[in-house]
Chains A and B, each alone.
Chain A
């Protein structure tokens, strides 16, 4: 009986540990542009791994705002082209839990001279997953705030 309890305890601990470090999030957004979207209104997934916004700025300005917000959330741009940016949050060693390392994917679509449709997704990694979080909601909210300034 004691052996069964011990095996159960060890298994439970392993499940919790795997859960804390498992990969989460997506690289490709489920959201796409449609004409019913309102300008500067953020659409968020419940877990904040995937968001979209129709930003009331042209593509060039929208990309500038995106890069500014990405540096604001303490991330470094790893690659970019005309319509997409891939960034990674800087890693920090903590006293108990480290943080950083999340990958952020931003896609920008020029839908008119005044508006850009943007999707933001976050992917958390296997290592250090416990200290990572989804950034898509905060990034989208800050982009709207900056676009309004």
Chain B
């Protein structure tokens, strides 16, 4: 019995100490498009260099946290871009633009918070 309780405690603690976790909120805007494959082609655009013609398909707000001692270092242009690419494909977009992003750290934890828009740009197709 004691052994079972100990095992349950270890499993519970391990699940709390995960290396990385991501919370993403997606708000679809405008026409619904068919979701593309997870690894679809996605362009990353700068806010100041948007083309004249594009359609906004959605807004994404994502928070990724990682524990450095468990190999969970997080960066905007690594884990952040990966998450945004996946969500862009799911919304049927072919580009995203980052409106704001923040990287913070406290003790063992590293955090990335990104606000982005998913776009469909006809000239990319």
Contacts and interface: CB of A to CB of B under 8 A. Distances in A.
Nearest to B102: A72
B70 A131 contact: no
Nearest to B99: A149
A57 to B, nearest CB: 14
B109 to A, nearest CB: 5
Interface stretch (A10-18, A21-29, A39-47, A88-96): A88-96
Nearest to B100: A146
A33 B51 CA distance: 42
Given A74-B65, A149-B99, A68 B104 contact: no
B63 to A, nearest CB: 7
A95 B68 CA distance: 10
Contacts of A132: 106
A118 to B, nearest CB: 17
Interface residues of A, number: 24
Given A71-B113, A99-B107, A131-B107, A92 B65 contact: yes
Contact of A74 (B47, B99, B104, B115): B104
Interface string B45-75: 0010000000000000001010101100000
B111 interface: yes
A98 interface: yes
Contacts of B99: 149
B100 A99 contact: no
B109 A92 contact: yes
Interface in A56-73: 68-69, 71-73
B24 to A, nearest CB: 13
A123 interface: no
Interface of B: 16-17, 47, 63, 65, 67, 69-70, 99-100, 102, 104, 106-109, 111, 113, 115
23 contacts: A68-B100, A68-B115, A69-B102, A71-B63, A72-B102, A73-B111, A74-B63, A74-B111, A92-B67, A92-B107, A93-B16, A94-B67, A94-B108, A95-B67, A95-B69, A96-B69, A96-B108, A97-B108, A98-B107, A99-B108, A99-B109, A146-B100, A149-B100
